[in-house]
A and B are shown apart, each in its own frame.
Chain A
């Protein structure tokens, strides 16, 4: 018999991230797509059609959306919405703490007497329509003057009139339409990024606009040189070019000079050294020629060079900053509000977690997140630390044990004393590790940087020798030729080759529903030989469904469900949730003396009769009852997940659950096999369940009953046979295996992004995207090689030509720009 309590599942995330097709089954909830309990008749009329609802939470949400006149949301959304099941009144109350001025101090900015502004993190966003709905809805609240939601970061900026609406009211209103909003304090890092991005964009705009004018005038000058031009006009045009180039030099080109100066101070040669030299020398000589009224001017080359380089820097920077946003979400897993206890242990007070100091006493209720690192001073509970160390089974902790901020209290209330806060916590350390990993450049880009650095020293050497050579042979042309070599040889194309291809692919994958956390993951993905799948939550929906209820003679189905649900109300376990949901509107029975055993079951008395509910082992150890052999026969040899309800002397009922296979699992496996990858299934579940899934999906190699540790060993064994392993898991429970594998993909929404150690997160509930990612990875690699090949060919072909005096500086500037542009355009092919 299989244990019913298989895993402490991703009970925290499942609420927001379980997203299925928006075309819901007739018996699935219209709002959230979860199956509707069979005995629940709940409908909401939307556009004249009665749509089924799975729970009162969803019903309330849908009614709130319709009441506000936004039913259009259901027509344009592309994913189903987060379920309303988790909507709890406690959260509604907790928002009131945000009205306290001391707490507001951290999040809210004052704009004048009554105007306030705050940034909110929105949770539960599944598609663009959700953002639209939130924006429309918040903007419609009386007293809110301005709302702007950023689609990329899912943050909202809200301005409101303090005299007409309170922040807590805004948060509660968002809650009513089924999303969660939390105010947050944009950290300095992020603010810095934003300013940097804007500055870059302004520089780019200036270079582009002034550059256009300079180019226009240059064309007149070239035409004039060809067909004759009055000297006064020529003089005027030259001065005009100088004037128009000046802002570009002084404003747009400054980063190159600053960075070159930094490089030289460190006695290194970066790419900006030849760039600055070329721009600086060309501008100085042209300015001199203009003032003297004789000699060539190269203003067109200067502006073009600055514009194209600024553009490529801007795009590269954008790609890098997109990844940085995900880190912040880890900080979010610490609770914002926590319960502070007075030192005498008497009064409770809600305070912002950020204000906690060492030595404070805090109350952590079951289901709450521990706000900081500390020690238990009273109580005994199980704690889920999966977020921090990937350990999927909650650990029992007692007085004196250490608590880690970010872990979740599962069973009983605890009192803790805070030992470290802020940057000293384990959570902060993990966050720093993630940041470091993200800053790391992919190996190919590192190689390109190294090659480029050497190449630059080599180029500078060539420029000097070319200048010296032409000085001796043709003193008139030495400057022009040396300048042409300097411009033509800029290894921009070489340095652009990898970052552009990778950021193009990341964008492509993001729209396919895959968030790549590290650029280097693409490179490893391309080399993958073996794909290892976890079963629960990966190939299957990870959402158990009640299949059968087998009752003993004196009870009927309804009664069994009623008793089971009454008991299971006290459990957080996923199976318990299913039973409670299934019982739906049935009248709840009164309970007394509830005792729960972690990982086992629950005992309570109803009408003076003791009932036990839990897995078979729990029942065997707590009651003398035996499960009738006939029942076991009935459910068959295929060990399905079961929960048993019993009295002290006899078994009352047995509930069996199934976990449905995702319908696109087989498509994915077939596709992967056709790409020549070996597919392996590893699961903690029993042999029969594993075999069934393996047969249905066509996986030849399956391994059952594996602990997270043995999965890790199996992956290591594969790696020793020089296999490159891609691990696909549900993210939270599989953390150790995910980090062992060469590349890892975790299932889950964007909100669990930072909670997993995976390289890639599948945000769309669409498995074949994984095969697509492999195809994209292969194309990216090919694209990078094409780009590098082209860049090297260009540089090695153009330098000798320039050195021989065959290329004029303006032609060199065009050549350089075109070679970079070709690289960018080639990379952009990946987005299609």
Chain B
């Protein structure tokens, strides 16, 4: 079980890296706009199938 004295420090180093990445991401503004990327990923394709939502909205509107 002495391996735990090695494994836990490793997990702590990992934790440190994760925390650093997260703090960097927040500082960089990655979390400022949570809505945008969801749309962007759909539209950046060269050809996109029109989302289902559009046609329904169009009929009602």
Contacts and interface: CB of A to CB of B under 8 A. Distances in A.
Contacts of A197: 32
A128 B39 contact: yes
Contact of B50 (A76, A148, A194): A76
B33 A205 contact: no
A129 B43 contact: yes
B27 to A, nearest CB: 7
B43 A78 contact: no
Interface stretch (A149-157, A583-591, A750-758): A149-157
Interface of B: 1, 4-5, 8, 11-12, 15, 18-19, 22-23, 26-27, 29, 31-33, 35-36, 39-40, 42-48, 50-51, 53-55, 57-61
Nearest to B59: A23
A205 B16 CA distance: 12
5 contacts: A21-B58, A132-B40, A202-B26, A209-B19, A236-B4
Contacts of A557: none
Nearest to A155: B33
Given A72-B48, A131-B39, A151 B58 contact: no
A20 interface: yes
A22 B22 contact: no
A426 interface: no
Nearest to B22: A205
B29 to A, nearest CB: 8
B39 A132 contact: yes
B27 A76 contact: no
A132 B43 contact: yes
B53 to A, nearest CB: 7
A76 B60 contact: no
B22 A209 contact: yes
A690 interface: no
Contacts of B54: 22, 78
A393 interface: no
A152 B61 contact: no
Interface residues of A, number: 37
Contacts of A664: 60-61
B15 A201 contact: no
Given A22-B54, A78-B54, A129-B43, A205 B59 contact: no
Contact of B15 (A135, A148, A213, A765): A213
List of 8 A-B pairs having minimum Cβ-Cβ separation, nearest first: A23-B58, A21-B61, A128-B39, A151-B36, A151-B35, A132-B43, A150-B33, A205-B22
A805 to B, nearest CB: 34
Contacts of B47: 72, 75
Contacts of B15: 209-210, 213
Contact of B60 (A75, A129, A202, A768): A768
B28 to A, nearest CB: 10
Contacts of A75: 47-48, 50
A155 to B, nearest CB: 10
A766 interface: yes
A76 B43 contact: yes
Contacts of A766: 57, 60-61
Contacts of A135: 40
Contacts of B43: 72, 76, 128-129, 132
Nearest to B27: A198
Contacts of A210: 15, 19
A235 B54 CA distance: 61
Nearest to A200: B26
Interface in A132-189: 132, 135, 148-152
Given A72-B45, A764-B61, 15 more contacts: A21-B61, A22-B61, A75-B50, A76-B48, A76-B50, A135-B40, A150-B36, A194-B32, A198-B27, A202-B22, A202-B23, A205-B26, A209-B15, A210-B19, A230-B1
B13 to A, nearest CB: 12
Contacts of A236: 4-5
